[in-house]
Amino acid sequence: MRTSLLLFVPLFFFSVITIPALTHNPWNISTSSAFGYLPDSSTGFNDKIDTAFISAVLAYQKFFHLNSTGILDHTTVGQMVIPRCGVPDFFPHHRNTTTLHGRDLYSFFDGKPTWPKHKRNLKYYFTSYSTKIRPQTLRKIFARSFSRWERVTLLSFQKVHHPSKADIFLRFYSGNHGDNSPFDGRFGVLAHAFAPTIGELHFDADEIWAVSMSMLRNTPNSIDLESVTTHELGHILGLGHSTFRSAIMYPSISSQRRKINLRQDDIHGIQELYGVKK
């Protein structure tokens, strides 16, 4: 009874949060892997699943600074249901790495991809298609989010009016939208973005996106668009997830929570990729 329960619970939760297999491998991960915690989606219902899940749960607990019990206890499940970014927490070559940057906890995509040196002024384009948010509201939120990264690096960002001139695209989608990482409705995965130089940032159009402090405060279950945008732009520029809870690049954010300021962890990470603004 105990064994079957232990099998059922992890399967249930990982089925809720699993990223479907990616055919064109945009994040440099080899298979579907539940945010990088499961080595292979083809594990299926067999004996290996116990070991794979225990190891996945242990890695998850380590990443989120939870007690290493190896089982989906109350605290672990409580962390798993917090809305989050769809980008994996680990890539194949980083699975077992601990801190590599002194006291900092930031990470990069596999191979440390960046925008090339001749692309220090990056142009972005967004469309309000499939969201009810007004374009002028999006314009302000996106401009503020870009400016936080601009302030600490040698990069600059410029909005353009035609997609043919853009390096970075910000779009809202519901469900399946053609990149083999369908969105999942309200909560779960809020957004995802691709490593340089793909330049695609996708928001789940089914979230209740808060576009002001008052809306965030007064709307139950709302998600702060500016916080999520600032986080996803970190991926667009080449940062992975950080295990530092206060970092912008930490993977999860609760509803009605605002977190928009870069921390030293984020700043050191991005400056390692693009240099320091003097």
Q: Which is nearer to Zn ion, 222 or 229 (CB)?
A: 229
As given in the structure block, the two tokens for residue 247 are 């970092």
Which of 43, 50, 97, 96 lies closest to 71, judged by CA? 50
Cα gap 57→103, rounded to integer Å: 24
φ/ψ region of 79 (left if φ > 0, alpha if ψ in -120 to 50, else beta) reads alpha
CA 156 – CA 237 distance, rounded (Å)? 12
Q: What is the nearest approach in angstroms of Zn ion to the Cβ of residue 79?
A: 15
Give CA separation, 240 vs 103, 193, 250, 260, in Å: 16, 10, 9, 17
Nearest distance from residue 177's CB to Zn ion, in Å? 5
Nearer to Zn ion, 87 or 211 (CB): 87
Task: Show Cβ contacts of residue 236 under 8 Å, excluding neighbours closer than 6 positions.
Answer: 168, 193, 194, 196, 199, 201
CB of 7 to Zn ion, least distance (A): 29
Distance of alpha carbon 238 from its chain centroid, rounded? 12
Show the binding pattern over residues 74-113: x = contacts Zn ion (CB under 5 A), - = does not: -----------x-x--------------------------
Of 53-61, 103-111, 175-183, 269-277, which part binds Zn ion (CB under 5 A)?
Answer: 175-183
The reply on whether position 259 binds Zn ion by CB under 5 A is no
Is 232 annotated as catalytic?
yes
According to the binding rule CB under 5 A, does residue 179 interact with Zn ion?
yes
Interface mask toward Zn ion for 187-226; x: CB under 5 A: ---------------x------------------------
Would you mind telling me the total number of residues written for the chain in this entry? 278
What residue number has its CB nearest to Zn ion?
85
Instruction: Tell me how many residues contact Zn ion (CB under 5 A).
Output: 4
Quote the CA–CA distance of 32 and 52 in Å, as a whole number: 14
Q: Of the two residues 57 and 195, which places its CB atom closer to Zn ion in the complex?
A: 195
Question: Minimum distance between the CB of residue 273 and Zn ion, rounded to whole angstroms?
Answer: 16
Q: Tokens 């491998």 map to which residue?
A: 25
Catalytic residues: 232
Chain contacts with Zn ion (rule: CB under 5 A): 85, 87, 179, 202
